[in-house]
């Protein structure tokens, strides 16, 4: 009898081990899944996600659950509203001008590849947000219009361009915030006067870059706020130089896009691998798809970047003034 019981016990133990191994193997894929909240442009049909995400998954075996969450500010708000229940492991596309809204949601991570980044672009010394590309704000024009294009921000605000310009709201978009910071730095005390005039003269103030630039390429207006590198996209993918960035003597605002690891993530190792991938193998795909500049100093750019003008005077903002200025903007322009 003892022998039978012993045999049964051994068989039970063996079955338990087999079940445990099977269960462990079944759970591995879910353990290797990373949830990334990103801005709409990254996730769109022509966004960087189409190449970056499959390459990362193939290289690491980590499955990415990519969630399109609106503009950069909306990405932050989504994580904040979800609180402890958020499934997000990494947020993607937070700019230096909106970074102060995200810091408390993030864990520091000093990537071993941080030294490949031009240190002038590292705006968070605590490494909660890690830059992956950058650009320079500019107004982009459609040269097919028979129009004398403006030569300065102040000239843009004249009646000659009434209903010909598409702006973006600084409350809902990092591009809008960047434009606000640009006017503040370039125009000084006159920045709110510029916005008061432009709010009446502009064709519309779009909620995000995707909708604003979409209206522009659909021919709704010949001028839109975007980047000096926006023409690169059209040269590379449409083989046209129709769209051109305007350089103004007042100077231009630099914007830096970054990624961060969300506090409390259960996939810290996977999140770190994703950040490292953004700083290495993904750099050229990010630059090409986003029509931005790579932060990694070793990357060689395609010839199409010759169509991106480089302004002599640049502004950078690595502080929290944006939040205060948005209140001033809203009081002056909206109320």
152 and 53 housed in the same domain? no
What pLDDT, on the 0 to 100 scale, is given for residue 24? 39
320 and 189 housed in the same domain? yes
What is the CATH classification number for the domain harbouring 289?
A: 3.40.190.10
Q: Over the stretch 133-160, which tens digit does the pLDDT of each residue have?
A: 999 999 999 999 999 999 999 999 999 9
For residue 117, tell me if it sits in a domain.
yes
243 and 114 housed in the same domain? no
d(CA 122, CA 256): 9
H or E element at residue 296: none
For the four alpha carbons of 316, 172, 186 and 147, in that order, the dihedral sign comes to: positive
What pLDDT, on the 0 to 100 scale, is given for residue 9? 42
Q: Please give the residue range of the domain that contains residue 239.
A: 135-254+309-334
d(CA 186, CA 288): 29
213 and 320 housed in the same domain? yes
129 and 209 housed in the same domain? no
105 and 212 housed in the same domain? no
For residue 80, tell me if it sits in a domain.
yes
**Residue 271: is it exposed, middle or buried by C-beta count within 10 angstroms (0-12/13-18/19+)?**
buried
115 and 192 housed in the same domain? no
Residue whose pair of structure tokens reads 């049964």 in the numeric block: 8
For residue 17, tell me if it sits in a domain.
no
For residue 15, tell me if it sits in a domain.
no
d(CA 167, CA 216): 10
For residue 46, tell me if it sits in a domain.
yes
320 and 237 housed in the same domain? yes
For residue 8, tell me if it sits in a domain.
no
287 and 231 housed in the same domain? no
215 and 150 housed in the same domain? yes
Q: Which residues face 3 on adjacent strands? A: none
Q: How confident is the prediction for the chain on average, in pLDDT? A: 89
178 and 104 housed in the same domain? no
Q: How many domains does the chain have?
A: 2
Q: Over the stretch 273-305, which tens digit does the pLDDT of each residue have?
A: 999 999 999 999 999 888 899 999 999 999 999
For residue 124, tell me if it sits in a domain.
yes
d(CA 241, CA 229): 12
Query: At residue 6, does pLDDT exceed 70?
Result: no
H or E element at residue 16: helix 2-31
For residue 118, tell me if it sits in a domain.
yes
Query: At residue 10, does pLDDT exceed 50?
Result: no
Q: Over the stretch 20-30, which tens digit does the pLDDT of each residue have?
A: 444 334 444 44
Give the strand pairing for 33-38 and 90-95: parallel
44 and 189 housed in the same domain? no
């Amino acid at each position: 009898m003892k022998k039978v019981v012993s045999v049964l016990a051994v068989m039970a133990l063996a079955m338990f081990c087999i079940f445990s191994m099977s269960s462990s193997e079944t759970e591995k894929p879910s353990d290797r899944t990373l949830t990334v909240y990103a801005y709409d442009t990254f996730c769109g049909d022509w966004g960087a996600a189409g190449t970056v995400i499959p390459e990362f998954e193939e290289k690491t075996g980590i499955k990415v659950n990519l969630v399109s969450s609106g503009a950069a500010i909306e990405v932050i708000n989504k994580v904040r509203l979800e609180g402890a229940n958020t499934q997000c492991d990494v947020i993607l596309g937070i700019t230096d001008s909106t970074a102060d809204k995200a810091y408390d949601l993030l864990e520091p991570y000093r990537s071993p590849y941080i030294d490949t980044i031009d240190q002038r672009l590292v705006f968070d010394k605590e490494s909660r947000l890690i830059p992956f590309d950058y650009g320079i704000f500019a107004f982009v024009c459609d040269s097919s219009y028979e129009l004398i294009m403006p030569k300065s921000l102040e000239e843009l605000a004249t009646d000659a361009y009434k209903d010909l310009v598409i702006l973006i709201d600084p409350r809902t978009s990092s591009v809008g915030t960047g434009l606000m910071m640009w006017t503040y730095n370039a125009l000084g005390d006159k920045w709110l006067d510029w916005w008061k005039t432009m709010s009446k003269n502009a064709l519309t103030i779009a909620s995000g870059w995707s909708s604003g630039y979409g209206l522009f390429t659909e021919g709704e207006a010949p001028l839109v706020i975007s980047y000096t590198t926006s023409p690169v996209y059209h040269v590379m993918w449409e083989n046209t130089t129709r769209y051109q960035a305007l350089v103004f003597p007042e100077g231009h605002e630099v914007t830096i896009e970054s990624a961060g690891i969300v506090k409390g993530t259960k996939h810290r190792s996977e999140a770190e691998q994703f950040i490292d991938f953004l700083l290495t193998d993904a750099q050229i795909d990010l630059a090409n798809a986003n029509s931005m500049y790579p932060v990694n100093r070793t990357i060689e750019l395609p010839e199409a970047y010759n169509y991106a003008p480089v302004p002599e005077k640049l502004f950078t903002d690595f502080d929290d003034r944006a939040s205060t200025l948005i209140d001033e903007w809203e009081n002056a322009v909206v109320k």
